Structure 1
Amino acid sequence: MRLGVIERIWRYPIKSMGGERLASVDVDERGLLGDRLYAVRDAEGRFGSGKNTRRFRRMPGLLRLHSRCPEAEPLPEPELLDPDGVPVADTTAFLRRYLRRGDVEVAREGAVSHFDQLALSVLSTATLDWMRTALAGIAVDERRFRPNLLIRTPPVTPAFVEDRWLGSQVRIGTTVCATFVRSSEHCVMVNESQQDLPHSPLVLKTIAQAHAMRMDALGTVTVPGTLGVGDLVTVIRP
């Protein structure tokens, strides 16, 4: 059964920052190669985010920054871009000035994963289009929800179709296989401003009222490979 095709691919080399849009990407058991491999970390070991928890430290403004992998092999430290999209020469010095914190640095993932939940996240255009209708007058696109893959679904597909995908094993393109396990519970990050997306508390409120703060599908990669824009996503085992 065909679910749709890949419309856009997003990778986020530094966690909680804006990502980079890709035409194709290699995928291994961890997820998209280089995705969230780095994070902003403070002296207490807490990671920069839009929220405060035992694990995260709220650092306003992170989403207005971007990161990208400077080479074909995304293992070196990513390149950081300022709010105007200009690469910065010294990542640590820039972040300390920008965040007004003298204890932050960009740290590579260690023994504890930087992923909040599972490695692969996908969102359907059906759900995204529903959000745009529900939030008429508020700028909404997939960047608010930070999926790795935006899947173009057929025109008659209902919103929150991702619920139907949970438990399925799928093939993405010709090689990559994944299993959709559960949806993610979104937080205040979806409300935050980034580039041309203004802050709006209505985004999370709408998701909460319509679908218990859940939208998208999270999965694990079972067969690595390469995927690209336009690749088919098909169910191989429901």
Structure 2
Amino acid sequence: MWLGGAHQSYIPTHSQIRNLGMQSIGVASSLWRYPVKSLLGETIDALAFDERGVEGDRIFAVRNGAGKFGSGKNTRRFARMEGLLTMSARWDAGSVLLRLPDGRVMSNDHPDLNQALSSVLGQEVELVREAAVSHLDAGPVHLISTSALHWLRGLLPESLIDERRFRPNILLSTSGVGVVEHDWLGKTLSFSGGLRLHISGLTERCVMTGMRQSDLPDDLMITRAIGEHTQFNFGVYAQVMEPGILRQGEHAFLE
């Protein structure tokens, strides 16, 4: 660019310098956030990442009388609760709006919310904000690839294989064959906008993957197939190395 007779040099960002000469391995085709753990989430055009993970992701959880958080599995911290996937949550400037099965929308500070949740789930529960005990599983960011989904559809042509079953934060549109993200373990994934993630572990699946949600039916074959072919692993967890904003359509690079 020339301005007033003086040549103005183009100065690339640090992320652009790092990505020079690198080949894109995929594009962020869908971005998801789940404000309440184990409830249906929301797909959005951009996500903000900090050291904890995705802003507004799993900030709230449903807690039962034993102090365990609602989940699709039973562990030391979590308790399986039927009915969680009949509800959805949306992040709204620091608070959460929950949609109940009857269509009502209630904020996290609504005085009747806990009573409504208890009625849906058939037990006394309360919605709690994250405190000392994290609501996250094995990693703060979860990622899967379209290659992995395509591979699973090949194994189960009669099943409805949908990204929503796997609850990723990032769905990468990729051209490889198989569960390509498993080969990225220990590597750094950088995006054209500056976000950098360290791929820290494989995502172990439980029965929640095949549970009914929205227009997706129960399908135990999905979890069974993942168990037989990839030892119940499907997708990867990541840690945030450099915070930033990730926008739909950004390219991803392996460093």
User: Structure 1 length normalisation: TM-score?
Assistant: 0.92
SS in structure 1 at match of 2:37: coil
Q: CA deviation at 1:86?
A: 4.5
- Runs of 5+ consecutive residues of structure 1 not aligned to the other structure: none
Q: Are 2:67 and 1:49 aligned?
A: no
Partner residue in 2 for 1:120:
141
Matches within 5 A, 1:137-216: 137-154=158-175, 157-216=176-235
SS in structure 2 at match of 1:69: strand
Identical positions, percent = 38
- Runs of 5+ consecutive residues of structure 2 not aligned to the other structure: 1-22
Partner residue in 1 for 2:101:
83
Tell me the amino acid that sits aligned with residue 136 of structure 1: P
Distance (Å, rounded) in 2 between the aligned partners of 1:57 and 1:181: 25
Partner residue in 1 for 2:80:
58
Q: 2:29 aligns with which of 1, 4, 7?
A: 7
Change (3 A) 1:84 1:22: farther
Distance (Å, rounded) in 1 between the aligned partners of 2:160 and 2:64: 32
Partner residue in 1 for 2:11:
none
Would you say how many aligned residue pairs link Structure 1 and Structure 2?
A: 229
Partner residue in 2 for 1:39:
61
Q: CA deviation at 1:82?
A: 1.9
SS in structure 2 at match of 1:57: strand
More divergent stretch after superposition (170-179 vs 197-206):
170-179
SS in structure 1 at match of 2:236: strand
Q: 1:29 aligns with which of 51, 62, 81?
A: 51
Distance (Å, rounded) in 1 between the aligned partners of 2:206 and 2:54: 23
Q: 2:151 aligns with which of 130, 140, 157?
A: 130
Distance (Å, rounded) in 1 between the aligned partners of 2:181 and 2:103: 33
SS in structure 1 at match of 2:203: strand
SS in structure 2 at match of 1:210: helix
Distance (Å, rounded) in 2 between the aligned partners of 1:167 and 1:2: 18
User: Structure 2 length normalisation: TM-score?
Assistant: 0.86
Aligned-residue CA RMSD (Å): 1.4
SS in structure 1 at match of 2:118: helix
Distance (Å, rounded) in 2 between the aligned partners of 1:223 and 1:84: 41
Tell me the amino acid that sits aligned with residue 3 of structure 1: I
